[in-house]
């Protein structure tokens, strides 16, 4: 019952974000400021306090990197086969990308931090870094190849290297590797700021959700949702069980890859020739569907 209450709370915050946007409280300017706080302050703080006191050698393993790379590429390959030759290029590229591009930062990692113990949360921090390093370049490659988009690769590479999520993960791992003590006051302050990551992110996601019912392509959207929140986490479970990974790695991997389509895919679609209306619809549909599927996943691996 506690898990049900937690997930219903997630849904309530999502809907609250949508409602606040509808009444004008979360207008474009306020939404951008709230998003910046979540992305540049709260989430990095949460990642750092979750990793700085953990053993680097036990967190970063070849199997972790190989397993997540395989799941991402395999899901992208299935999506490519399913959507090949269907619809316009702009819609097809979005369908492929949104079938694997997970909301590991805004939803996955904060959800795990609020639900599981410190070990699972620390592994999830590494999973966040690995998935980000793989899925962002993969998403750019898919959009460029399908839409024949012209993209400044140097700019994208710079943004990836300067990603605050990756920088805070690196800082936490380095502090952990060097056995550097963090003052209790600093750690407590960062922990308090990090606790705001999940509610802030959910409000931001809710404020960004939009759907135009008359334009719904039920088959395409249904396929994207099924691949993202059902096929991908099941594949992750099979892969990491097959690799004989420990329970913390299996739990973190399955839940992180079971998150809905990332809101950032809407931004990528706008920049790289994708169908933004279709992208917005899929973000909405996968987020709503994930409330039920995440409950099942957490109950299964928890």
pLDDT for 251-277, tens place per residue?
A: 999 999 999 998 778 777 877 788 877
Cβ-defined contacts of 112-115 (< 8 Å, 24+): 112/251, 112/252, 112/255, 112/256, 113/46, 113/50, 113/194, 113/197, 113/198, 114/6, 114/198, 115/3, 115/6, 115/298, 115/302
pLDDT at 139 over 70: yes
pLDDT at 176 over 80: no
249 confidence band (pLDDT: 50, 70, 90):
very high
Q: Is 177 exposed, middle or buried (0-12, 13-18, 19+ CB in 10 A)?
A: middle
pLDDT at 153 over 60: no
Cβ 73 vs Cβ 97: under 8 Å: no
71 confidence band (pLDDT: 50, 70, 90):
very high
3-class secondary structure, 217: coil
pLDDT tens digits along 184-205: 788 888 888 888 877 887 787 7
Average pLDDT taken over every residue of the chain? 83
77 confidence band (pLDDT: 50, 70, 90):
very high
pLDDT tens digits along 79-121: 999 998 777 888 999 999 999 999 888 788 888 888 888 889 9
Q: Which domain holds residue 297?
A: 2-301
Nearest CA to 73 out of 96, 53, 94 is that of 96
Per DSSP, the residues of 132-167 read HHHHHHHHHHHHHHHH-----HHHHHHHHHT-HHHH
Instruction: Provide the number of structural domains found in the chain.
Output: 1
Residue 185 is part of a domain; what is its CATH number? 1.20.1530.20
Cβ 251 vs Cβ 119: under 8 Å: no
pLDDT at 229: 95
pLDDT at 100: 96
User: What's the pTM value of the predicted model, to 2 decimals?
Assistant: 0.79
Q: Which residues pair with residue 102 across a beta bridge?
A: 261
6 confidence band (pLDDT: 50, 70, 90):
low
pLDDT at 66: 93
Matching residue, tokens 């590429």: 73
């Amino acid at each position: 019952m506690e898990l049900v209450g937690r997930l219903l709370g997630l849904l309530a915050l999502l809907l609250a974000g949508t409602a606040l946007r509808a009444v004008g409280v979360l207008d474009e300017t306020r939404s951008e400021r709230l998003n910046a706080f979540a992305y540049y302050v709260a989430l990095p703080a949460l990642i750092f306090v979750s990793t700085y006191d953990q053993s680097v050698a036990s967190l970063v393993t070849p199997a972790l990197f190989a397993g997540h790379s395989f799941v991402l590429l395999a899901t992208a390959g299935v999506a490519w086969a399913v959507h090949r030759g269907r619809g316009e290029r702009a819609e097809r590229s979005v369908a492929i990308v949104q079938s694997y591009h997970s909301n590991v930062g805004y939803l996955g990692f904060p959800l795990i931090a609020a639900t599981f113990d410190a070990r699972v949360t620390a592994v999830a921090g590494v999973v966040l870094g690995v998935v980000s390093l793989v899925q962002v370049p993969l998403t750019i490659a898919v959009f460029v190849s399908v839409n024949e988009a012209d993209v400044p690769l140097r700019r994208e590479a710079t943004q990836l290297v300067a990603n605050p999520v990756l920088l805070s993960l690196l800082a936490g791992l380095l502090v952990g590797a060097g056995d550097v003590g963090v003052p209790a006051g600093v750690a407590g302050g960062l922990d308090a700021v990090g606790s705001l990551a999940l509610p802030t992110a959910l409000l931001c996601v809710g404020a960004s959700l939009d759907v135009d019912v008359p334009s719904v392509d039920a088959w395409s959207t249904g396929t994207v949702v099924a691949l993202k929140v059902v096929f991908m986490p099941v594949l992750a479970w099979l892969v990491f069980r097959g690799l004989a990974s420990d329970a913390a790695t299996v739990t973190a991997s399955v839940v992180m890859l079971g998150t809905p389509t990332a809101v950032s895919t809407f931004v990528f679609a706008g920049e790289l020739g994708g169908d933004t209306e279709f992208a917005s619809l899929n973000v909405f549909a996968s987020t709503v569907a994930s409330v039920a599927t995440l409950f099942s996943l957490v109950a299964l691996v928890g």
